[in-house]
């Protein structure tokens, strides 16, 4: 898996003028800069959302069908689209991946995802509930509800941390 620094190595030429990009430190951050036109590639985190859907203390998880993290278990979620709020994005993603309409309760936290080969992400993880049956998308192989003390071994991203944070604080929010 690539880390954030490795991501900078992918970009070699300026998208504006095609000159070579040079590694530099600007504002205490390693970036790639074009000395010809001044373009700067700021390797910023991409925003993503996930939701911990719970029912009677158990958590819905999906097993990924594709890379990255094929066969790992995850919470439903995905990338925030341009001009979407986190709340709109998680409602869309939950519907796309599970066929479910969600009821958002609260934000569990934000988690830095730095082990995804597609880049660094900032995952805004909500908790919530649903009603109805699951219609799984092609992104995932299967779904299952797990108790917090019997989670699968292979969990991607920082979703295990979010589950633990939710479990540690759920009594305060009920």
Per-residue model confidence as pLDDT tens digits over 116-167: 888 889 999 999 999 888 999 989 999 999 999 999 999 999 999 999 999 9
pTM reported for the whole predicted model: 0.81
User: Does residue 55 share a domain with residue 28?
Assistant: no
Same domain, 85 and 30: no
Please write the tens of the pLDDT for every residue from 81-102: 999 999 999 999 999 999 999 9
* Residue span of the structural domain in which 99 resides: 46-173
Regarding whether 159 and 78 lie in a shared domain, the answer is: yes
CATH code of the domain covering residue 153:
3.90.79.10
The neighbour count for residue 164, using CB atoms within 10 Å, is 14
For residues 118 and 34, state if they share a domain.
no
Same domain (yes/no): 91, 141: yes
- 94 and 140 belong to one structural domain: yes
Distances (CA, A) of 38 to 19, 31, 101, 112, 139: 10, 12, 46, 29, 40
Q: Number of folded domains in the chain? A: 2
Tell me, yes or no, whether 109 and 169 share the same domain: yes
- Regarding whether 128 and 86 lie in a shared domain, the answer is yes
- Domain at 33, CATH number: 2.20.25
As a whole number of angstroms, the distance between CA 84 and CA 46 comes to 13
Q: Name every residue whose Cβ is closer than 8 Å to that of residue 3 and which is 6 or more positions away in sequence.
A: 114, 115, 120
């Amino acid at each position: 898996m690539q880390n954030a620094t490795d991501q900078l190595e992918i970009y070699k030429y300026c998208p504006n003028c095609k000159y070579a990009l040079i590694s530099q430190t600007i504002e205490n951050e390693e970036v790639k800069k074009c000395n010809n036109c001044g373009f700067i590639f700021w390797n910023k985190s991409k925003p993503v959302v996930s939701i911990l859907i719970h029912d009677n203390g158990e958590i819905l998880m999906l097993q990924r069908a594709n890379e990255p993290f094929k066969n790992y278990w995850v919470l439903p979620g995905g990338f925030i689209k341009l001009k979407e709020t986190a709340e709109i994005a998680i409602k869309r993603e939950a519907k796309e991946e599970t066929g479910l309409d969600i009821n958002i309760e609260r934000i569990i936290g934000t988690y830095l995802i730095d082990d995804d080969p597609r880049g660094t992400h900032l995952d805004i993880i909500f908790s919530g509930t649903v009603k109805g049956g699951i219609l799984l998308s092609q992104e995932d192989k299967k779904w299952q509800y797990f108790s917090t003390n019997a989670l699968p071994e292979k969990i991607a991203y920082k979703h295990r941390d979010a589950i633990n944070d939710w479990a540690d604080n759920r009594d305060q929010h009920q």
